[in-house]
Amino acid sequence: MKSKHLPVLLVAFGIFIIDQITKYMIKTSMSLHQSFGVIGDFFRITYVENTGMAFGISIGENVLFTVFAAAASIAILSYFFYIKGEHLFARLAMIIIFGGALGNLTDRIFRGSVVDFLDFEFFDIYIPQFDFLFIHFPGYSMTRWPVFNVADIAVSVGMIMLMIFVIFDKEHETGTEEIIAENN
């Protein structure tokens, strides 16, 4: 590993350590489903264990998702080393995603579930049930954001950074046009 990768990899390691320490603190100091207000009901610490994806999305088979998450983490890390150093923003985004993914993957492998604890009030969302063409939508409502953790924050922030990079990277678009022109 080249030393130029080390500072960025330390970001992933830092995210992983903070994630694991906070989860350990919650797991050892609270009972499952215990909750207490930090800022009234707006922000609570609530200990839950999640066998689904981020933000409590249920996916069915946990083993299959764990294998997929491990493969995705390896792909992200591989691509991090593949892209050139001039794309620091994109590399930072990927390493932030990797740090969060590694935190939740570690939970899945060693605990069988992910420890979540950050619990925020959310503006109420209500979508009534309806039929569209031949599809029935049963409706949806949400009054609190799904409980999440530090790793989920890292993955979300990294994905937003990656989307910003893709949208605003004019150099990348120019490079692609040059490659197409060279091949024709």
Instruction: For 148-173, write each residue's pLDDT tens digit.
Output: 999 999 999 999 999 999 898 866 55
The catalytic residues are: 116, 152
- Scanning the structure block, which residue is given the tokens 């590694």? 102
Question: How close are the terminal C-alpha atoms of the chain, in Å?
Answer: 36
* 8 A C-beta contact, residue 55 and residue 152: yes
Q: Which of 11-20, 109-118, 130-139 has the lowest mean pLDDT?
A: 130-139
Backbone angles phi, psi at 147, to 5 degrees: -65, 140
Single-letter code of the amino acid located at 64: L
Mean pLDDT calculated for residue range 81-103: 86
Percentage of the chain lying above the pLDDT 90 cut: 44
- Please give the pLDDT value at position 177: 52
pLDDT at position 56: 57
Residue 50 forms beta bridges with which residues? 114
